[in-house]
Structure 1
Amino acid sequence: MESFENIQNIWNTDTAKKDYQIIMDKDSLGRTILSRMKKERKILMEYFWASFAYQILIYAFMLHLFIRFWGDPETMLISLITILLYSPFTFIQLKKFKAFVNNHSSMDLSGNLQMQYMTLSEFFKFKKRFELISVPVSCFVIVFIIFRLSMIGRPEDNLIVAGSLFSIWILLFVISLFFENKKRFKDPLNQYKLLLREMES
């Protein structure tokens, strides 16, 4: 019969193996979560740079119109309003994405994951509210510019054409934003939720 000391040694060895396995499982889970976080971050950074470039183009074009039609109060006002409309969005976007990409050394993996999820969620809520205003205003500006540059008259003198163009642009924006929000925000947020559940389990 084995002595109590031998049995204890065997038990200690098995326990050590179990502890080692738990450590390895946690380490493997951490690497998997980091890999998936990098994937979602890449998707979001693609949106950030594309969106930022789009906003720069808007500012440049509106500034061009402002200078080109200097002395035309209506065109100058619309150009200025468009710049002022997008400025808060650009500021918030830069602020949120800077917070999103910064890893906080004082936080563990779970803390960084939670922080990124909250930052992305807050920006997405702001983006959806902003779009309720920016989409119709942008469509109005586009229609105005089409009429202004084509010299076909004023929108109020061609309401059917102006209304049709406005409706088409609204539809294009809605479709585009639906797919953009799904790919760049809803899907990543769902992935972050899954990762948080895995961290908690």
Structure 2
Amino acid sequence: MGGVDLSDKSLELYDPDIRSNKMWKRVLFNLLLRVISSLETAQTKLSKSIDDKSNHHAFTAGISSSNSDWTGDTLVFPVVIYSEGTGYNPSTGIFTAPSAGTYVFYVSVQSASRKYIYLDIVMNGSSKVRALAYYGGGSRVHINQTGTNLVILHLQTGDRVWVKRYKGIGYVSGDIPITTFSGFKLN
């Protein structure tokens, strides 16, 4: 039993009469078994809580077609590429924090040909970072620019994060999304 000596010889060190008391030895043995069982149960629960995926939240979503004339407010990313846990709503484009913690969000946008677009990552109505896909003009060549940005935010349960247009017009995407929005919980 893991180095615990329950022989009569070890017990007689404490009390020479204990050898004759088999019941005491049995009580002590059962008590040790219960302690070991409790420790194993606690270890299992701790391991399970560490591995519990209910607190893992991550997503990547994109857009499957271009819209060179888009001038909306919230950019909705309806194509879910990856999702673990809960939080991202592909119908609204909004991530709602299911639990408090530190999260990372990333946006990538490609401007429509010879146009520019600014997109903000917004938390509860407040812009946090801006991605800019800017075309400077002057070229007859169809040029698309890509803008990206990343932000780390501490969210409380129920906080909302989304992507909105600051200014500009249009974006490019395709069957394999080019314009995307991602987020995941660090802890």
Q: TM-score, normalised by structure 1?
A: 0.30
Q: Which has the higher contact order (CA 8 A, sep 6+)?
A: 2
More helix by percentage: 1
Would you tell me which structure has more strand in proportion to its own residues?
Answer: 2
Higher Rg? 2
TM-score, length-scaled by structure 2: 0.32
